[in-house]
Amino acid sequence: MPGSTPCISHKLPIIISLICLSFLISSCTPAAEITTVEGFFFDTFVSIVIYDPCSSDITDGCIELCSHYDNLFSKSVPESDIYRLNHAAGAPVTVSEDTVFLLSEAVRYAELTDGKIDPTIETVVSLWDFHPSETPKLPNEAETASALAHVDYRNIEITGSTVTLTDPESSLSLAFLAKGFIADKLKEYLLANGIQNAIINLGGNTVVLGSKPGNEPFTVGVEKPFGDGTPIASFALTDCTLVTSGVYHRCFYDGDTLYHHILDTATGYPVENHLYSVSILGESSLTCDALSTTCFVLGPEEGMKLIETLDGIEAMFIMDDDSIRYSSGFPKPLSEY
């Protein structure tokens, strides 16, 4: 794809709709009531499909949860915890219990990777624009080096409900694990309200709750990188989460060089390791979300080595030649395309 060509899709319009309908899933499956809730939160399209009878109170609660966490973790909402921390100039900030938990998890993954994952990478991320542009602009070496000087997760001090960025110019982003946390919260909410069968999709984060009518597993596909939205492989899944981190939605080409949004904390430029995407399968969406980015930055060899040490976690690596590497326990695909 030569030339300065953006390869990120245009942002979908905000849609919040409730569709309740009954239809026959198949000739041998009883009619089922399907409820779909859709919206645009966390800079992505959100879809929650419920396969059990539910009230408008439950669907309204899903939207309220999404809105709450969007406002809590957003980098651009002035009232959010993350915005207030990023603009506190090093002063301590009192934040929510959820923010403390998520920051603590972010620091844990930073420690696990010796800083290859770092929640203070926002100082570098802010130099890049991965939105569609006919003339994408690369940050220069001087401003990149200056921003990198403030990337250090050890600048995060947490004392009770108070968080301090000890470097006043450090800046936070929880993008690599926040959607996973929110997907888990949505799952907890649905279960607490009697919903046993549903599928939650927050962009690349998919949570499968129970099964489809007829006790059939859900069919979940992993997108073919730089394709037309069709899957490169699909799987029969029940009661699990599948999260993908990839380079093909937020990216652009400059000449023959691909620039994507998963940045190397050592250079400030996109990670280069011949990976197109990493998908993680497990029970916790937070864990899978964090590990998908973690394994991407570690690369296919070190990433797979980490996965094979973890119980209940499997991985699928798509290389830049479209070949696929599976961890030892990953379920056999229904199909590969």
User: pLDDT of 236-257, one tens digit each?
Assistant: 999 999 999 999 888 888 888 8
Contact 165, 172 (CB under 8 A): yes
**37 plus 136 within the same structural domain:** no
**Number of domains observed in the structure of the chain:** 2
Go through the chain and tell me how many residues it has.
337
What's the predicted TM-score (pTM) here? 0.88
Sequence-distant (6+) residues with CB within 8 A of 301 are none
State the pLDDT at residue 134.
67
State the pLDDT at residue 182.
97
**Using one digit for the tens of pLDDT, what is the confidence trace for 53-110?**
999 999 999 999 999 999 999 999 999 999 999 999 999 999 999 999 999 999 999 9
Residue 38 domain-assigned?
yes
For residue 199, name the pLDDT band (cuts at 50, 70, 90): very high
Residue 116 domain-assigned?
yes
**191 plus 212 within the same structural domain:** yes
Residue 213 domain-assigned?
yes
For residue 260, the enclosing domain spans 17-72+177-336
Residue 315 domain-assigned?
yes
Q: What is the dihedral of CA 29, 34, 40, 46, to 10 degrees?
A: -40
Q: Give the chain's radius of gyration (CA, Å).
A: 20
Contact 164, 93 (CB under 8 A): yes
State the pLDDT at residue 7.
39
**116 plus 238 within the same structural domain:** no
- Other CB atoms within a 10 A radius of the CB of residue 121 amount to 27
Average pLDDT, the chain: 89
Contact 292, 259 (CB under 8 A): no
Question: Distance (Å, rounded) from C-alpha 275 to C-alpha 173?
Answer: 23
**103 plus 138 within the same structural domain:** yes
**92 plus 220 within the same structural domain:** no
**89 plus 210 within the same structural domain:** no
**65 plus 90 within the same structural domain:** no
State the pLDDT at residue 132.
61
**23 plus 98 within the same structural domain:** no
**146 plus 284 within the same structural domain:** no
**244 plus 313 within the same structural domain:** yes
**Using one digit for the tens of pLDDT, what is the confidence trace for 142-190?**
999 999 999 999 999 999 999 999 999 999 999 999 999 999 999 999 9
Boundary-marking domain end, from 110, 131, 165 = 165
Boundary-marking domain end, from 165, 199, 231 = 165
Residue 208 domain-assigned?
yes
**Using one digit for the tens of pLDDT, what is the confidence trace for 12-45?**
222 223 333 222 222 233 446 899 999 999 889 9
What are the CA-CA distances from residue 203 to residues 31, 54, 152, 178, 337 (Å)? Answer: 29, 23, 28, 12, 21
- Other CB atoms within a 10 A radius of the CB of residue 89 amount to 8
**139 plus 67 within the same structural domain:** no
Question: Distance (Å, rounded) from C-alpha 226 to C-alpha 246?
Answer: 10
Sequence-distant (6+) residues with CB within 8 A of 319 are 274, 275, 276, 300, 325
